[in-house]
Structure 1
């Protein structure tokens, strides 16, 4: 633990996929279908639950904290066997917000909730449930982050993953876990102050739909 077309800007109007009301005056108006809009309202730092069907992760608690990825506060949260999501000046945004929703969890220790994250593939979906809304992201890219490179860290934590300084126009997610087995196999036994290895495996996704939980 380090395209698809832009999604629509935030709007309270229903998705284009929602059924239109009947043109006949006497005909009943159909009930709105669940929203598939990728235009959420800002939520800020809230607790959430994460599900990744392709690797069997279901309802993993994601706890927000003010800080940056894998710092001491974030590592303490991960040590409880849950995921951590940094926010604030050095972190990311909340679930469904335009920008980079950063989520980190252990791969080997504390139950290894993201043990199988490296096998997540482009096209797999990720569901984040927060405050009665389910946000669905689609994985579009795999990245590697080095905690010994300021540039690499900046790319991981950027509002647009991989593009520091770029203004975000869509909601994205970065799922990150350690590359301990890979580093060890390469003879890289460097560890940071929290005993994390140098490299992180990051899965990047874009928001594709929202619906009531």
Structure 2
């Protein structure tokens, strides 16, 4: 088989996987009207009756990235399709929720949302060099992701770290994050994916405080 034939076969296989994932993701979202986070969505796609995603190594960003990208590719495709029937799909790693279009919620500036949409709908981004993936993760966790998180995303991140409201300072975030990570450590019976979720929440809050409080050294 030539290289061109191999690539064509891989592209067809990927499109076939996207079709199956789209059906499963929509069903899962409708079964969770209050929303679901990315990690629990991935777990749901791993379980029967779907079993569309294999084992995921949450501790290695280069192994997690293709799964994350494919799920978000499907989510953005679904968002465009469902909008035609008056439904709104809010997309964030911490909360993915389907609602009626007349429910108003903050999802960030249009330009920011469109940039994310363009990125995830481009299937050529499914495979990136390992160095690019690690740079993306470093930027996200250090708060340099280049966008202001939406208010709902910030509130969801605060909930993940156990706050009942948005904390007053980033020092509070750092203290709560360190404590939560220690409690979730595998040596204490925790799970690696829980730490991944805490890292995502920490990155969102760090970006929030970095971009909204000038002169604050993070």
Return the TM-score normalized by structure 1. Answer: 0.26
Higher relative contact order (CA 8 A, sep 6+): 1
Hey, which of these two has a bigger chunk of helix by percent?
2
Hey, which of these two has a bigger chunk of strand by percent?
1
